[in-house]
Structure formats: C-alpha cells, structure tokens
Amino acid sequence: MAVGKAVWGIDIGQSALKALKCRMHEDGFWMVAEAFDFIEYPNPLNQAGAGSEGLIKDALREFLSRNDIRNDTISISVPGQAGLARFFKAPPVEAKRIADIVKYEAKQQIPFPLEDVIWDYQPMPGSHEEEGISLETEIGIFAMKRDQIFRSLQPYLDTGIDVDFVQLTPISLYNFVANDQLTINPLKEEYDPANQPNSYVIVSMGTETTDLVITNGFRVWQRSLPIGGNHFTKQLTKDLKLTFAKAEHLKRHASEAENAKLVFQAMRPVFNDLVTEIQRSIGFFQTLDRKAKISRIIPIGNGMKLPGLVPYLGKNLGYDVVELDGYQKLTGTEVTSAPSFRENMLSFATCYGLCLQGLKKSALRTNLLPQEILVDRIVRQKKPWAVAALASLLLACALNFGFHWQAYNSAHIPEFEDAIRKVTAVESTSQSYNSTDTQLMTEKENLEMIGRYVVGNEENRRLWPELMKAITVSLPTDPELALGRVSDKPIDQRPDLQIEAIESQYFPDLSMWYTEAVKMKYAVTLETRKVILRRLEEGKEASPSIDKELAEEVAAEAAAAGETAPVEEETGSTEGTAAEEEADVDLTEVEGEADPEDELAGPSAEESGWVVQITGYHFHNSPAARENMGAQYVRNTLIDQLDRGSIELINENNEPEIVSMKELGISHPIIAMDEVPRTVQITNPKYDPPAMGSGMGDEYGGGSYGMNSEEPIDPSKIEPPTIQVKVYRFTVQFCWRESPLSKREEVRRAAELAEAEENAANAEMENY
C-alpha cells in the first residue's frame, strides 16, 4: 500500500517529455508507480526553426491537461553538460567545520563568482564520523550558472508548475542505479577504499549527447559524450541522400528495411565513434581510480533501441552489457505493464531517480532550485493566512492597548518618570556594551579558527614543492655553465639526466615496498660507496664503473661473507640489466664500520608514506666517461644526492637553512630497473640544413656557407643531420615519509636539547 505524498519526476529531453508519478510503499522498500506520461514533440528541439521554447510549453500544457499535479511534489532534471560536478576529500576536521571548508573549496573549484551560480554540496555515501570528527569524507559540489537555471525553469513558471527539486541528469541516473541496480546499499554500508565494490557504467543515449556515469554506489564519475541518436540519423541523410524525417523513420525500423545491410553500413562510422568515446572515457576514469573494478555496462535511453547497437557495444567494449527489462524496486502494475511505458522504459531511468529524490530515498539529495523562487512560493502560499493572522493580531493589539491604557491611567504617577528614564538609559547602555562584547568575541573566535586553518594548510602545501625541489637539486648540473645557456660540450659528455616522468604511490604500510629485493638493491649502493671511499684512501680511481678490477673488489667483499657477486663484463653499462644480480651481497659488510642494520633498516610495518618513481635516461656514456657512465653515473649523481645530499629551505623564522634529505623524509634510493646502454640515432643539434639558392648541385649544397656558388666548401665542416650516441634508460625509486616544517623543527630542537644535556653532563664529569 502506497503512503505519503506523491512525487512527479519530469525529464524534458530533446525529442520528448517523460514524466513518472510515484509514492513510497508502506514497507519503505518498494516505490509504487501511480501514473506516467510520454509526450513526443512534433520536431526535435535542436532542429533548425523548431522553436524549442514553444514546443516545451505546449508539451507541459498537454501534460497538465492529462494529469492532476495538485498537492504533488515536482522534481525536474537539467542536462549534465550545463552543470558542473566536482569532488574533493576533506581533511579530518570537526563535522561542524565542513561547511566552511566546502565554501572555500567551492571558490577554488567553481570557475565563476559564487553569486553568479546556484550550487549545493553533500558528503558522498560511506563517509563516517568518530566523536564529532569527520574522517575520510569525500564531498561532492554541484553547480550551475544562475541564468541557465532560470532558463530551464522558465517553461514551468510560464505554465504555473511549482518545482520543488532541480537535479543534474547524471546525478539522477546515479540515484537510480544506487537504489535499483546495485547489490549494496550505500546509505547503510561503509565504504572501504581498499576493497571497493564493483562499478557499473551507465550509458544513457539522448538525442544529441550521451551521458556516461560510472559508480560503485559510494563514488560517482560522469562525462557527457558528444554523440547521440540524431548522429545516426544525420549519417543516414548524408550517405543515403534522404530527408531527416525519412532517415529517422529508417533508423527506427532499420531491421525491417529492404536493404538492412546498407543501412547498418551507413551507420557503422557512428557505431565506431560511440565505442571509441566510451572506451576513452572508461580508460581515463581508470587512470583516476586504479582500484575501481568495472563489472558491467547498463545501456539506457530510447537511442539504445537501435537494432544491433547493444550487442555491438558488448562485443567491442569487452564488458558484460546488461539490457534492462524492468525496474527491480518499482511496482505498480497499471504503469509498469502499460504498452507505452514498456516501449519507452529505457527513457524513464532519469524520472525514476528524480522520484527517489522527491521521496527522500536517494543517495544524493542536492537541490539546485534558486532560493528566491522557493521564498516567493512560500510567501504566495502563506499570503492569505498571513493577511488573516495580521488582521487578528491587529484586533488583539487594539484590545490589549485598550486594557493597558485603562490600567496605566489608573496607576500612573508622574514623579516616577525621571527615575524610570534614568534606569532605562543605564539598561540600554549595558545592553549596548554586552552586544558589542559578544560581537567582538565572535569575530575573535572566527579569526582564530581561520588562522589555524590557514596555517595548517600552508604547512601541508609546502610538502610537495619541497620534494620537487629536492629532486631538482639532486640532478647533476654543469658548474661552468651559466643559467639559461646550452652546453657546447658533446651530448655524450654533458653532465645531465633527462627526466621523462615522476610518479608516486601512497603506501599505508611501507614495508610492503621495502622487500628483500629492494633491500639488496640498496645494499649495492652502500657497498659501492664503501669501495669508492677505500679506493680514494689508497690513491686509486674512485669511480666503480666497468673497471674489472673494482668490480672484482665488490665481488670479493661479498665472497668474504660467504656470498657471490657477479663480475660485470665490459658491455658499456655500469650495471645494465644485471642490477638485481649485483644486489646479492652480504648485508653485514655494508658501510665498513657503520652498523649495517642501521644503514639497511627499512620502514617498519606501522609506517606509511610515499614511494616516488623517477623515469629517465642519459647520454653520458662516451668512451671518455667510461669510469662514470651508465648506472654508475646515476648512482654518483641522483642516487648519491637523494641518499646523502641536502637542500636549502626556508625555516619557521623565514630564514634559509640547510636541510638534509634524511630530515626531509627521503631515504633508500635505488635503481629499480635499467637496461644496457644501446646505440641510437638522435637529431644533431648543430646541424644546419642547406638554404635555398643557386649552386646547390651537391648533397650538402651551399645553405650554411653562403649563396656564392664560387666559394669553396669544406666537407669536414658540414655537420650530419643525425648523430649516434649511447642511451642508458633507468627507473629510480625512493621512499618519502612526509616531514613538514613543524616536525623538522621539533626534531631539531629535541636534538639540540639532547646535545646540550650531554655536554652539560660531560662538563660535570670533567669538573668532578
């Protein structure tokens, strides 16, 4: 049995008006459909000269003539491409401060002044609080320009329909899927980012665009694709030389056409474009959320009734495409079994989501209805009652005044007036002071709150720029080269590294990254450094490159501890693809006299942080640099700086100070992957192509050497267009545990205090 107020969900599309009336069943689970309407326009709204405003008003008037909407709630949709949806994760804060954070984020996320837009927000399902603190809360902000909202509402205002809810079409589709299709209930279950439920892809094809929504119930991502049902019709008009009306009829009855194969061949480019757009959108989404697991695609919209389209999507997208044959939680036999509803069932999904919101059963309940419209409606509805109440109040006031006047005349004593006047003045002054004090205290608390918020976020905003600066400082540079100048040295002798990508991944447990293999690779760096230091003390060459004598020393260090380390062959790489094998050294012999456990100790299981990956290459592999090339050049520069270097940062007193990489939280840099240097052809930067002119008979005609054909040309001075160099590609990884400025200063102060106490103790012992 249906109970409560009825809700109409109205969706104005480009080709038809769809409306669905529902109430909630008394059990709170089923939604009962009581009525529906499907009004197709004489012409699509986007067709030239169609008069879209007039067609919409005519459709609404016809809708009102067929249906009684008095005392019903009205919920409407607006196109997704006309609105904006942004999501951000709020820091752990008190729940009452979420509104302040959202307003700040709205100013950053919405590319228009807030007074020019209508916007609303809501925490996504699965968010939770503990002791008044909001944790891991993802918040959605939804907005639409004010003029577009009023343009969408104007037909309803003109026809006298009072709208209660305005929602973006993709969000209505999300509400439909979250309530009707998913096996989980996002309103009651908690969200586990490490074990996400399966995500569904909703492909809603309209007349001109297709809304693509991806959701697992707790998170939602949407995009509007520029392909719709009319694109198939336009392709038929173009290839088969038909009018738009005939092409539309042929599209709807393609399987019944005399030459169905020709029809489908004409539409195949649009089929391919649609599949390409869907694949590109799904691929982009998976780069944003790599843990998402897409399990099925749900096609909706009357455009999906095109024969062969749904099987084509399933075959080319590689996912299970599920065709809707009914709504799982919608009952009401008179509506759901009606032929018109069954024929257009795929186009009522948006209306389904709008009804859920009107019944307050949806996952997202943001409302883009302008506040001034709501206020005007309330005033209009309450005006008769307000007039009656005002008249009653005036009558009561008149009667009350009469009684008080009579009592005043009987008890008034003129001598008390001066004393009462003074008491009133003192009371007024006291109230003024109290009011001013309250206002100033409120402003003080607001300023303190804003100050704490700004300072806290400022420190966090410095973390990633400091990391980027640390990486930049660790890259080798030519000290003889002025800033902004390009080196004249040969490419294979320039002291630089070419960085292609810097990526990062957060690890709640860093010990999962610091495996035995990573530990072995880090041991190679420490062992090589120990050998270098010993060779420097002995007066030998310091660079452990492909020098077989030094490689044998590294192997001997491992053999002395009962292990074996391979000796590299002179392949032109300091490490090549044998980096993992060279890591097979005795971990108890690393760093000489230093405690190897301290050097090689990795992050504990309780520590979290980031693993940063740097991918790049270098050409520093010339025969002249054979003692410092390939992997060893990366170790001698980038790895060594990340492990033992330091950078200059600004401290809390706004003064420069030297901060070591360890203090910054950087540790355990390794060469995770590399390859043997190989010879490649690159463009010669010194090559000057010949200019057009006379005297260009030979291969290197007179371009760079003048236009005079009689001037002799020295072939030895002609630079070739390409040169051969050896390239070494590498992937460096290191661990980074965030170390904000306050934490570094606290550690330094603790160290200085401990040192002072130790010095005082030593001085006391000496005096004793």
> Do both 452 and 517 map to the same domain?
no
Q: Compute how many other C-beta atoms are within 10 angstroms of the C-beta atom of residue 64.
A: 13
Q: Which residues of 131-141 are buried (b: 16+ CB within 10 A; e: fewer)?
A: eeebeebbbbb
Please determine, for residue 577, whether its predicted confidence score (pLDDT) is greater than 50. Answer: no
CB of 178 closer than 8 Å to CB of 215? yes
Helix (H) or strand (E) holding 432: helix 417-461
150 in any annotated domain: yes
In residues, how long is the chain?
Answer: 768
> Do both 217 and 107 map to the same domain?
yes
pLDDT score, position 1? 57
**Residue 713: pLDDT band with limits 50, 70, 90:** low
Residue at which a domain ends, from 424, 459, 494: 459
602 in any annotated domain: yes
**Residue 119: pLDDT band with limits 50, 70, 90:** very high
Distance CA 184, CA 126 (A): 11
> Do both 401 and 343 map to the same domain?
no
Nearest by Cα to 347 from 299, 281, 275: 299
> Do both 309 and 429 map to the same domain?
no
Type of residue at 88: F
pLDDT score, position 263? 84
Helices of type H across 117-181:
146-158, 169-180
- Between residues 47 and 7, which one has the greater pLDDT? 7
pLDDT score, position 48? 64
123 in any annotated domain: yes
Give the single-character DSSP code of 100.
H
296 alpha-carbon distance from chain centroid: 23
Sequence-separated (6 or more) residues with CB below 8 Å from residue 584: 520, 558, 563, 564, 565, 566
pLDDT score, position 563? 40
Distance CA 378, CA 247 (A): 49
689 in any annotated domain: no
> Do both 535 and 586 map to the same domain?
yes
Cβ burial of 203 (10 Å; 0-12, 13-18, 19+) is: buried
Type of residue at 12: I
Enter the tokens of residue 111.
Answer: 């590319």
> Do both 54 and 104 map to the same domain?
yes
Distance CA 728, CA 497 (A): 10
pLDDT score, position 714? 63
Phi/psi at 703 (nearest 5 deg)? Answer: -55, -60
Average pLDDT, rounded, for the chain: 82
Enter the tokens of residue 566.
Answer: 């391979």
Please determine, for residue 722, whether its predicted confidence score (pLDDT) is greater than 50. Answer: yes
% of the chain surpassing 70 pLDDT: 85
* Mean pLDDT, residues 38-47: 84
Distance CA 425, CA 418 (A): 11
pLDDT score, position 59? 92
Please determine, for residue 150, whether its predicted confidence score (pLDDT) is greater than 80. Answer: yes
For residue range 352-406, what is the model confidence (pLDDT) as tens digits? 999 999 999 999 999 999 988 888 888 777 788 888 888 898 999 998 888 888 7
> Do both 441 and 539 map to the same domain?
no
**Residue 588: pLDDT band with limits 50, 70, 90:** very low
pTM above 0.85, yes or no: no
434 in any annotated domain: yes
pLDDT score, position 587? 39
Sequence-separated (6 or more) residues with CB below 8 Å from residue 282: 201, 214, 294, 317
Q: What's the total number of domains in the chain?
A: 5
**Residue 241: pLDDT band with limits 50, 70, 90:** confident
- Between residues 193 and 598, which one has the greater pLDDT? 193
703 in any annotated domain: no
For residue range 318-359, what is the model confidence (pLDDT) as tens digits? 899 998 888 999 998 889 899 999 999 999 999 999 999 999
Enter the tokens of residue 217.
Answer: 């119930």
pLDDT score, position 351? 94
> Do both 419 and 407 map to the same domain?
no
> Do both 441 and 502 map to the same domain?
no
- Between residues 593 and 629, which one has the greater pLDDT? 629
For residue range 103-113, what is the model confidence (pLDDT) as tens digits? 888 888 888 88
Residue at which a domain ends, from 369, 403, 435: 369
> Do both 624 and 501 map to the same domain?
yes
Enter the tokens of residue 671.
Answer: 């060469």
714 in any annotated domain: no
For residue range 490-546, what is the model confidence (pLDDT) as tens digits? 888 888 899 999 999 999 898 899 998 999 988 888 888 787 777 767 765 544 444
How far is CA 210 from each of CA 14, 178, 265, 707, rounded to the nearest angstrom?
Answer: 12, 20, 22, 61
pLDDT score, position 454? 58
pLDDT score, position 580? 40
Distance CA 518, CA 507 (A): 15
Give the single-character DSSP code of 345.
G
> Do both 386 and 354 map to the same domain?
no
Pairing state between β 330-331 and 31-40: parallel
CATH number (domain holding residue 65): 3.30.420.380
Range of the domain at 448: 413-459
% of the chain surpassing 90 pLDDT: 32
> Do both 328 and 437 map to the same domain?
no
Distance CA 43, CA 14 (A): 9
Enter the tokens of residue 743.
Answer: 């934490």
Helix (H) or strand (E) holding 141: strand 137-145
Type of residue at 269: P
pLDDT score, position 610? 92
Residue at which a domain ends, from 340, 369, 398: 369
647 in any annotated domain: yes
pLDDT score, position 625? 67
